Amino acid sequence: MKHVPCRSGIALALAAALLAGAAQAQAQAHATAASPPAAQERARADVAVSTGAVTIGGKRVDFHAYTGTIDVYPRPAHDYSTEQTGPDATRASMFYIAYFRDGVPSADRPITFLYNGGPGSATFWLQMGAFGPKRILLPRTPGNPSDSPVAVNNQYSLLDAPDLVFIDAPGTGFSRVSGKEPMAFYGVDPDVFAFSDFIRDFLTTYDRWTSPKYIFGESYGTTRSGALANDLQAHNQIKLDGMIQLSQILNFDLEIETPAVNPGTDQAYVVALPSFAATAYHHHRARAGEGMDLDAFLKKAEDFANTDYLLALQRGNALDPAARRAMAGKLSDFIGLPADYILKSDLRIEGGQFAQQLLADKGQSVSRLDGRVTGSQIDSLAKASGYDPFDVTVSPQYVAVYNDYVRRELKYETAVPFKPKFNGFAIWDMNHRVARSPAIRGATNVMTDLARAMTFNPKLRVMVSGGYFDLVTPFYQGWFEMNHLPIPAELQKNIEYRYFASGHISYSDEDVLKRFSADVRAFVTKRAE
């Protein structure tokens, strides 16, 4: 693969409704003839309406912001064509923040729906870290945020190109699930159905059916997007113009968290090796990369992973001891772990192991989210680190700034506490049913869903992006998945790749955000040929 290195509703209290009404009146008083009148007319009383401006590329972009919830209902397992509605029905009040640019007609203006992953993560990362009108101010060094985080004008916002809708998954952020079946939305398919129906109802509420439509998922959000693209089309007759995948995982047989629970499936170790190598290179532990730049070394690591390493893994227990020792030595040269440790691990290193062992001699572990970031080990004898140094440093900064921004600037008043995340995998139903086929009991794989969406809609374009130092969803995994989609060969031209010298949350580096923002803007403004 070619590398592109980078250098550098919940109901509100009466008082909140009155405030929302006042905000709407103010917005209407200041609206130009070209501001979004349909949205103003359709916005419900429990939607907070505010106005603002952001400077992008030296130009002022005025906008209206709509903050509220849309209720969605489960689709019964025996009949996915219907929804279980009614006053006593289980429902998810899905929270959103929508930004509509003033002064432009909305009929043919692109709209992009964005969400983080988890499962169980609210969408404050993408909004405050990447593409919303305000951005949290962090220094350029990953994992070393300011002691006093602030929200500043986001010159990298996408609002000059598409309108933006940030969505919290059921049970996250300000979204809440109510009713007799609180687990009804916590699974691969129920989650996809909720987002599909949310988008359908949003398009109706804000009169955006004729707008070019894009979805943007990050991490598990890319899994969601893979199946969502198909469900939007098959169930709600909504065709997408494009989708942006950041830190992609479509096939959980390739995830590097716990591949050992599925012995005989070795491809996960292969696609993770380049990310391990990149991280070892950064910490000066990759002997095979001495005298090479990162781009050249990654190409070398990919070649090794797909040839010698893959063949050794395929041999399994039939690999003779001498060849096994030789392979452990070669692998050590690439990923920086001791050859003896690699031998004891049967040549198969999981993500948590790598993060714990790379700098174990210094009493440190590296972040899974960004392998360049380090922290002190809690338990030096543990197989994997018990925390992530990047997450514990950065997450509180984002949560503080986001809460202040939503409540103070967007004037969204609610007694509902903000829930940044929950451990979705602990409760998630990972069984997945492609179209109307039986549910597949095993590792989730939505590659067929995405392939169907692209085949049925040959103009659907996909951008896949990621970071070299991402040890959660290795960048090479995304490339591997897209190059194994069961699609006609001519549709491969609809896929493009953007990779950066960054971690899982690529936009935490301002230099990367600048470049990534330009890439996404160009992608959204380019229409399919």
Q: What DSSP string describes 455-486?
A: HHSTT-EEEEEEETT-SSS-HHHHHHHHTT--
Q: Residue 30's pLDDT is what?
A: 37
Query: pLDDT-derived band of residue 144, with 50, 70 and 90 as boundaries?
Result: very low
Residue 34: pLDDT band by 50, 70, 90 thresholds?
very low
Cα-based distances in Å from 299 to 185, 348, 497, 516, 527 = 41, 21, 15, 22, 32
Domain assignment present for 8: no
What DSSP state is assigned to residue 120?
T
Does residue 370 sit in the same domain as residue 427?
A: no
Same domain, 42 and 154: yes
167: CB partners within 8 A, 6+ apart: 94, 95, 96, 113, 114, 115, 123, 195, 198
- Is 399 part of a structural domain of the chain? no
Higher-scoring residue by pLDDT: 343, 32: 343
- Tell me whether residue 414 is in a domain: yes
Determine the Cα–Cα distance for residues 357 and 438; give it in Å rounded to an integer. 41
In a domain, 341, yes or no: yes
Distances (CA, A) of 215 to 128, 165, 226, 453: 18, 9, 10, 13
Q: Kindly state whether residues 330 and 464 are assigned to the same domain.
A: no
Q: How confident is the model at residue 25 (pLDDT cuts 50, 70, 90)?
A: very low
Enter the pTM of the model: 0.89
My answer on whether 339 and 432 are in the same domain is no
The CA-to-CA distance between both ends of the chain, in Å, stands at 24
pLDDT digits (tens, 9 = 90+) for 150-159: 889 999 999 9
Residue 39's pLDDT is: 54
How many Cβ atoms from other residues are within 10 Å of residue 170's Cβ? 25
- The CATH number given to whatever domain includes residue 87 is 3.40.50.1820
Bridge partners of 421, per DSSP, are 121
Same domain, 99 and 236: yes
Name every residue whose Cβ is closer than 8 Å to that of residue 81 and which is 6 or more positions away in sequence: 75, 235
* Helix (H/G/I), strand (E/B), else coil: 376: strand
Q: Are residues 459 and 520 in the same domain?
A: yes
Q: Could you tell me if residue 320 is inside a domain?
A: yes
Confidence of residue 257 (pLDDT cuts 50, 70, 90): confident
Residue 396 is assigned to a structural domain of this protein: no
Give the three-class secondary structure for 115. Answer: strand
Mean pLDDT computed over 378-395: 88
Establish if 166 belongs to a structural domain: yes
Question: Does a structural domain hold residue 222?
Answer: yes
Domain end (from 343, 359, 390): 390
Residues forming a β-bridge with 173? 419
- Are 242 and 159 contained in the same domain? yes
Out of 330, 358, 390, a domain closes at 390
**Residue 149 backbone phi and psi in degrees, to 5:** -65, 145
Examine the domain organization and report whether 235 and 259 are in the same domain.
no
Single out the residue in 356, 390, 424 at which a domain terminates.
390
Cβ neighbour number for residue 322 with a 10 Å cutoff? 8
Lowest mean pLDDT among 8-12, 156-160, 301-305, 406-410: 8-12
Instruction: Give the per-residue pLDDT at 382.
Output: 86
Residues 235 and 305 grouped into a single domain: no
The mean pLDDT value of the chain amounts to 88
Task: Please tell me the predicted confidence (pLDDT) of residue 206.
Answer: 95
User: Same domain for 77 and 189?
Assistant: yes
Q: How far apart are CA 10 and CA 225, in angstroms?
A: 25
Number of domains in the chain: 2
**Same structural domain, 177 and 282:** no
**What's phi and psi for 89, nearest 5 deg?**
-75, 150
Could you tell me the residue range of the domain that residue 219 belongs to? 14-250+409-475+490-525
Same domain? 217 vs 233? yes
Q: Quote the CA–CA distance of 519 and 156 in Å, as a whole number.
A: 11
How far out from the chain centre does Cα 457 lie? 23
